[in-house]
Amino acid sequence: MKKTLVFAFYLVLNTSVLADDSSPIQMGVPHSPFPLIPLPPHMIPPHVRHDTAMMAAVKKGNVDDVKNLLAEGSEANPKGVPILGFNTFLIQAVLDGNIEIVKILLDAGADVNATPEIEIKLENPLPPPKIMIEKQVPMTAFMIAAQEKHVEVVKILLEAGANPNVTDNNGKTIRDYVMKETPEERATQTLKKMVMQKETTSEEIEQIREKIKIYEEEMAQKRDEIIILLEKALNSPKEKEPES
**Residue 122: pLDDT over 50:** no
Is pLDDT larger for residue 198 or for residue 156? 156
Check residue 112 and give its pLDDT.
Answer: 95
- The 10s digit of each residue's pLDDT in 8-57 is 343 344 433 444 443 444 444 444 444 444 556 666 666 666 677 888 89
pTM above 0.75, yes or no: no
Q: From 1.25.40.20, 3.40.50.620, 3.40.50.800, 3.40.228.10, which CATH number describes the 2-159 domain? A: 1.25.40.20
- SS in 3 state form for 6-67? HHHHHHHHHHCEECCCCCCCEECCCCCCCCCEECCHHHCCHHHHHHHHHHHHHHHCCHHHHH
- The predicted model gives 130-149 an average pLDDT of 74
Count Cβ neighbours within 10 Å for each residue of 68-107 and write b for 16 or more, e otherwise: ebbeeebbbebebbbbbebbbbbbbbbbbbbeebbebbbe
- The 10s digit of each residue's pLDDT in 60-103 is 999 999 999 999 988 898 764 444 445 789 999 999 999 999 99
